Amino acid sequence: MGPRAFSGIDLSEDALPVLELARQFAEERLRPTAEARDESEDVFDADIHRELGELGFLGMRVPEEHDGLGLDLLTYLYVLEELAWGDAGVAVSVSVHNSLPVSILLARGSEDQKREWLPKMARGEALAAFSLSEAGAGTDAAALRAHATRDGDDWILNGEKLWVTNGASADLVFTFVRTDTREDRKGTRGIGAFVLPKGTEGFSAGKKERKMGQRGSETVALTLDEVRLGPEHLIGEPDRGFSYALEALEGGRLGIAAQALGIASAAIDEAYEYAATREQFGRPLRTFQGMEFKLGEMLTALEAGRGLLERAAVAHMVGDPRARRLSSVAKLFASETAMEVTRQAVQVHGGYGYSREYPVERLFRDAKVTEIYEGANEIHRSLIARQLYRERGDEP
Ligand SMILES: Cc1cc2nc3c(=O)[nH]c(=O)nc-3n(C[C@H](O)[C@H](O)[C@H](O)COP(=O)(O)OP(=O)(O)OC[C@H]3O[C@@H](n4cnc5c(N)ncnc54)[C@H](O)[C@@H]3O)c2cc1C
């Protein structure tokens, strides 16, 4: 069997070998070890990340001139689906690194910043994190309070960040803090983007979240206590960080959609295996029409999600003005597909679906957060509708 999601649109001649490699890595390295990562709860698997770096999967979107694979968006998303089929927790770590910090540097970094950080990020020598959320700033991310004040050419950062994927293990944290003043708050136009290297004095990782699923990914709080950064750590304009974050999240959502589809695809494989071997009434479950309907609907939803994701990716690649709306549509649909498909996969397993003996209960837990992070689905519904209003010239 070839790569799972690949539809035959071959955008680069390198695509197929990379996808074959991703599939092999997911089958041989990720799937067999996913349960152990889940059980160990947030023990960062440094070996897996080192191998991901060696294979180039941490530099998928980095151009070859900076030591990356320079993959097109669609091939990158196919790879993410493969990795998520193997372990969704590992896939989200790869997605965050590639979709958010890498894309911010590519789009907004100076040539010096690109030369300094991109090759290390691409080779897996510098894992990156993206730190926007805070205790009081989730969906309303612009409500963040961590701040940076100028001291000569330097910046002094203070505050608390929350929910940082890769946060404790990352070598570089791309963090967003206020650069406006208490006396003159500027909302979304008062936030800067900074690159914070691990080991900088005053910067520490705090509590690890104990999560429902995706326990193979690390999610931590970060403290910034009088952290001094030189001007070379500021990305772009000091007051435009929020728009850089939103720009990156538009692409990041496609990574989450790919991840969700990988989870759904794994759940279908598990459901089929079980239905083909488990017998009741003297026949394998898969021979009952009720079971065929279930598996047929699960596969239809998965393929519909893949179709939407491809459409969204192509829209981004050709600069279609509907790209933003399609990112939300693909993320919304794929995450709800992952939830529904894993729910049905648990049902196919009967009592064993509820037991930890089979992977479907983990897949069910892993799926849930795809409806929450990189924009909870409620806000995507609103964003999609608001785009429609805008297209009709009806600004809310
Ligand atoms: C495992 C995990 C990893 C994460 N990784 C990162 C990361 O690496 N970097 C990072 O910056 N953040 C990260 N996050 C944070 C994530 O992006 C936020 O959890 C998400 O944006 C939702 O914010 P919140 O949790 O504060 O929920 P809230 O914003 O408090 O929302 C709670 C509920 O209210 C709904 N709601 C809120 N506003 C509206 C509205 N206007 N209309 C209708 N409904 C609304 C939401 O949809 C949700 O259902 C991560 C979160 C998790 C769980």
Q: What is the mean pLDDT of the chain?
A: 95
Of 108-112, 181-185, 263-267, which range is least confident? 181-185
Q: For residue 394, give both structure tokens.
A: 């009806």
Query: At which of 127, 145, 175 does a domain end?
Result: 127
Residues 142 and 92 in one domain: no
Residue 323 confidence class, pLDDT cut points 50, 70, 90: very high
Distance 394 CA to ligand 1 centre (A): 28
Tens digits of residue pLDDT in 369-385: 999 999 999 999 999 99
Tokens coding 155:
């910046």
In a domain, 170, yes or no: yes
Check residue 5 and give its pLDDT: 75
Average pLDDT over residues 125-136: 98
Ligand 1 atom nearest to 96, measured from its CA = 8
Ligand 1 pocket: which residues have CB below 6 Å?
96, 130-133, 138-139, 163-165, 211, 214, 219, 369, 372-374, 376, 378-379
What region does 339 belong to: left with phi over 0, alpha with psi -120 to 50, or beta? Answer: alpha
Residues 288 and 172 in one domain: no
- The stretch 105-118 carries a mean pLDDT of 98
Q: What pLDDT score was predicted for residue 44? A: 82
Total domains, the chain? 3
pLDDT band for 11, please (50, 70, 90 cuts).
low
CA 38 – CA 89 distance, rounded (Å): 9
* Most ligand 1 atoms within 8 A of CB, residue of 41, 96, 133 to mutate: 133
Do residues 46 and 58 both lie within one domain?
Answer: yes
Distance 8 CA to ligand 1 centre (A): 35
- Kindly indicate the confidence band of residue 42, based on its pLDDT and cuts at 50, 70 and 90: low
Do 117 and 46 share a structural domain? yes
Q: Provide the pLDDT for residue 3.
A: 73
Residue nearest to atom 17 of ligand 1 (CA): 373
CB 258 within 8 A of CB 87: no
pLDDT band at 314 (very low <50, low <70, confident <90, very high): very high
Range of weakest confidence among 181-185, 247-251, 287-291: 181-185
- Asked if 172 contacts 198 with a C-beta cutoff of 8 angstroms, the reply is yes
> What is the position in ligand 1's atom list of the atom closest to the CA of 176?
11
Interval between CA 171 and ligand 1 midpoint (Å) = 24
122 and 179 share one domain? no
Going by DSSP bridges, is the β-strand pair 279-280/283-284 parallel, antiparallel, or unpaired? antiparallel
Same domain, 296 and 364: yes
Q: Are residues 29 and 58 in the same domain?
A: yes
What's the CA-to-centroid distance between 302 and ligand 1, angstroms? 25
Report the CATH number that the domain containing residue 71 is assigned in CATH. Answer: 1.10.540.10
Query: In the prediction, which pLDDT does 396 show?
Result: 67
Domain range enclosing 212: 130-237
Considering the domain architecture, whether residues 249 and 382 belong to the same structural domain is answered as yes
Same domain, 179 and 226: yes
Q: Where in the chain does DSSP place strands (E)?
A: 128-131, 147-151, 154-165, 172-178, 191-197, 203-208, 219-229, 234-235, 279-280, 283-284
Above 70 in pLDDT, residue 193?
A: yes
pLDDT of residue 239: 97
Q: Are residues 122 and 141 in the same domain?
A: no
Average pLDDT for residues 244-258, to the nearest whole number? 96
pLDDT band at 59 (very low <50, low <70, confident <90, very high): very high
Name the band, by pLDDT with cuts 50, 70 and 90, for residue 71.
very high
Q: In CATH, what number is assigned to the domain containing residue 186?
A: 2.40.110.10
Instruction: List C-alpha distances in Å: 353 to 284, 335, 363.
Output: 17, 20, 10
Residues with a catalytic annotation lie at: 374
Residues 267 and 385 in one domain: yes
**Where a domain ends, among 188, 210, 237?**
237
What tens digit of pLDDT does each residue of 211-236 get? 999 999 999 999 999 999 999 999 99
pLDDT in tens, 138-179: 999 999 999 999 999 999 999 999 999 999 999 999 999 999
Predicted pLDDT of residue 6: 73
Among 328-337, 340-349, 382-391, the minimum mean pLDDT is found in 382-391
Q: Is 319 helix (H, G, I), strand (E, B) or coil?
A: coil
Which one, of 215, 250, 254, 245, lies nearest residue 333 by Cα?
254
CB 318 within 8 A of CB 312: no
pLDDT band at 395 (very low <50, low <70, confident <90, very high): confident
pLDDT of residue 43 exceeding 80? no
- The mean pLDDT value for 15-41 works out to 94
- Give the pLDDT confidence score for residue 367 in this predicted structure: 98
